[in-house]
Homo-oligomer: A and B are copies of this chain.
Amino acid sequence: MVDLRVQIGSLTLENPIMPGSGTFGEQLASVLDVNRLGALVTKTITADIREGNPPPRIAEFKDSVLWSIGIPSKGPVHYVETLVPFYRQFTPPLVASISADTVEQFGELAARISVPGVKAIEANISCPNLKKDGNAFAMDPEATEQVIRAMKSATSLPVWAKLTPNVGDITVLARAAEVGGADALVVANAMLAMAIDIHTRRPRLGRVMGGLTGPATKPVILRMVYQCAHAVQIPIIGCGGVSSAGDAIEYMLAGATAVQVGTASFLSAGTMLKVVDGLRDYCETHHVGRIRDLTKAMVGPQEVRLEDALTV
């Protein structure tokens, strides 16, 4: 029997697989047994009610998808009164994702949704910081640290910082979140991208730029997970382009403790369960008793250095 459990700070997950925020919903319970997931991460909410971005909201590429959804949000009251009770019927821990326009509002919203039933809060800091020229919080180490600190002092729940990949050196942001008190990092959100229809000459998204997700992003995000795993002590949740158990294992070897699945659930709703099954198979085949032993278990390259070659 393979032990699939992993530990994200104080939270024990039955297995390392969970949905990425915004790619999961109550509806999935009509399709599969959500109790088999490691955690349930809900769509980001904001304190205010929002409609989200104008369509078109999606453009498709060969191996990735470009989205401009924005954050359609029904606000914290709906979350606490409708969603939290709904998810109480399931066993995996519920992780709420929140976003806000200012550091203070992140703290306030974290406090408002810290209700029984919510087991951790993920901070979606990839949104614009209205007090700082609208640059994303997650592109700015100072703002990242402040947001996490504000949330940590507003709630006793674990706080996960979801970083953006649209940065230079991601370890700077990872460390800022750790210093701010984050219990875990989610690495990472979608990559800022765009596309133009050459016949109409219009952008293919209503808001011109959007977030790129899906398999093609994996090599870049994997590199970021690897870098972060060498920069911080807190657990890392890999997120970007996972669609098979092999992808999840790659993330774990690079340093992730758990893994989120996004776009792949849209291509096949059962992806997450297939990944869980595949993890078990891999562990059995490779005689891995505890999946947590895969975290950061990459070994060095089999290099043919010229220097070494000399001695052959």
Contacts and interface: CB of A to CB of B under 8 A. Distances in A.
Contacts of A200: 299, 302
Given A202-B301, A219-B195, A63 B66 contact: no
A246 B198 contact: yes
Interface string A187-227: 00001111110101111011111001001101110110010
Interface in A140-199: 166-169, 191-196, 198
A244 to B, nearest CB: 10
Contact of A54 (B192, B193, B205, B304): B304
Contacts of A192: 220, 223
A194 B219 contact: yes
A303 interface: yes
Contacts of A195: 219, 222, 250
A282 B198 CA distance: 9
A269 interface: no
Contacts of A253: 196, 198, 201
A305 interface: yes
A62 interface: yes
Query: Max chain B CB contacts within 10 Å: which of A64, A168, A282?
Result: A168
A6 interface: no
B220 A196 contact: no
Interface residues of A, number: 56
Nearest to A245: B198
A220 B62 CA distance: 14
A216 B212 CA distance: 10
Nearest to A52: B306
Contacts of A254: 194, 196
- A-B pairs, top 10 by smallest CB distance, nearest first, are A193-B219, A216-B216, A63-B63, A194-B223, A167-B168, A54-B303, A198-B249, A139-B168, A193-B220, A62-B63
Given A51-B306, A66-B219, A216-B216, 5 more contacts: A54-B305, A192-B223, A198-B250, A205-B301, A206-B301
14 contacts: A54-B305, A55-B304, A64-B216, A64-B219, A193-B220, A196-B253, A201-B297, A202-B300, A202-B302, A205-B301, A208-B226, A209-B223, A209-B226, A216-B216
